Amino acid sequence: MHRRHFIGSAALAATALMLPLARGGEARAATAPRRVLPRPLNPGDTIALVSPSKATDDPFDLQLASEAMQALGLKVKLAPHAGSRRGHLAGTDAERAGDINAMFADPEVRGIVCVRGGSGAARLLPLLDYGLIRRNPKMLLGYSDITALHNAILAQAGLVTFHGQIGAGSWNKFNADQFRRVFFDRELMEYRNVADAGDELVARRNRTVTIAGGKARGELVGGNLTVLTALAGTPYLPDFTGKILFLEDVSEAPYRIDRMFSTLKLTGALDRIAGLIFGECTECDPGEGYGWLTLPQIFDDYIQPLKIPAYRGAMIGHIRQQFIVPSGGRVEMDADAGMFRMLDPVFQA
């Protein structure tokens, strides 16, 4: 579901991780921008639906996304190219980036929801107007390929955005409740997996596993592992120093997960984080025969030596029920309890 594939090698130069660029490639100071909170969203406000990545497979997906937003009590504005197509993409790079810039600039629009993920959001990063985004801070919601936007906007504009369900995804009771609590009620959320024993004697679903115990505090950064590591060596990753790294992925062989963790290690990113929250790696099983390293072995190799709190199994990723978490928001994690919580509001007062 919502599959994204980035093809190409990730650069390994750690010094390049924090060299921001302005729109059009002009050099900017290598200091991280001050964090900016989005304006609050309320029932009755207008939400924009944008398609930064893959085109919708069926125009009906746009209708479903619109109906879901309306059912949540919001008005809907479709970006001009939300239903466009160029190859697998939802329009040209200029069209898709133009939609994002226009929706941030539109005073009628109070928030932005990405219709789907897929592939192609990273192509837009040099075309976004980060100064405009910073001057018009609004909530932006999406996951998977939208990881590219979350990290670039945080690194370049300092804006807190939200990793969670896409417009055309499942708006089941859990996801709708997450949306209302985060955006309408503006709770200081506690993210603890929902226990689900089903008809099992011992619960198997939604279990968390402690990799290394302890507590840590810091700003959340991360998202989809493949998309994140494809940004290595670019100016579109935030500084990882003292951050809580959250990750997820889908349909990746463990040897590829190992390669991506190796990239994060070689860039120096892993050595700077304060904690790790790993969500679901859906369809990431070892191959037949001798297979590959398992995910627990990969965590043992890369995370255990860091001596930081870490756990896996959080409800983040390509799953039916998923948390909506603030990229750039300050949290405290407890690896032994398998949970984390917001420390500060993530919207303007």
Q: Are residues 238 and 293 in the same domain?
A: yes
- 164 contact partners, CB below 8 Å, separation of at least 6: 141, 142, 143, 175, 178, 179, 182, 322, 323, 324, 325
Is 13 a domain residue?
no
pLDDT at residue 288 in the model = 65
Q: Are residues 201 and 158 in the same domain?
A: no
Q: Is 163 a catalytic residue?
A: no
Q: Are residues 155 and 229 in the same domain?
A: no
The one-digit pLDDT tens for each residue of the chain (349 residues) are 444 443 333 333 333 333 333 333 333 435 789 999 999 999 999 999 999 999 998 889 999 999 999 999 999 999 999 999 999 999 999 999 999 999 999 999 999 999 999 999 999 999 999 999 999 999 999 999 999 999 999 999 999 999 999 999 999 999 999 999 999 999 999 999 998 778 888 888 889 999 999 999 999 999 999 999 999 999 999 999 999 999 999 999 999 999 999 999 999 999 999 999 999 999 888 766 567 889 999 999 999 999 999 999 999 999 999 999 999 999 999 999 999 999 999 999 9
- 119 CA to centre of own chain: 14
Q: Are residues 265 and 117 in the same domain?
A: no
Is 12 a domain residue?
no
Q: Is 248 a catalytic residue?
A: yes
Q: Are residues 167 and 260 in the same domain?
A: no
pLDDT at residue 23 in the model = 38
What is the domain extent for residue 201?
A: 190-342
Distance CA 307, CA 191 (A): 23
Is 9 a domain residue?
no
Q: Are residues 47 and 94 in the same domain?
A: yes
- As for how many domains the chain has, the answer is 2
Q: Which of 184, 203, 234 is the last residue of a domain?
A: 184
Handedness of CA 325, 64, 249, 150 (dihedral sign): negative
Distance CA 208, CA 191 (A): 12
Q: Is 81 a catalytic residue?
A: no
Q: Are residues 129 and 109 in the same domain?
A: yes
pLDDT digits (tens, 9 = 90+) for 268-322: 999 999 999 999 999 888 766 567 889 999 999 999 999 999 999 999 999 999 9
Q: 3-class secondary structure for 326-341?
A: EECCEEEEECCCCEEE
Q: Are residues 179 and 209 in the same domain?
A: no
- How far CA 258 is from CA of 30, 109, 170, 281, 285, in Å, comes to 30, 41, 30, 13, 13
Q: Are residues 254 and 172 in the same domain?
A: no
**pTM for the structure as a whole:** 0.90
Q: Are residues 178 and 194 in the same domain?
A: no
Q: Which of 125, 155, 184 is the last residue of a domain?
A: 184
Give the active site residue among 81, 219, 248, 327: 248
Give the tokens for residue 41.
Answer: 């969203």
pLDDT at residue 59 in the model = 87
Is 265 a domain residue?
yes
Is 15 a domain residue?
no
CATH for 317 = 3.50.30.60
Q: Which of 168, 184, 200 is the last residue of a domain?
A: 184
Give the active site residue among 144, 150, 163, 219: 144
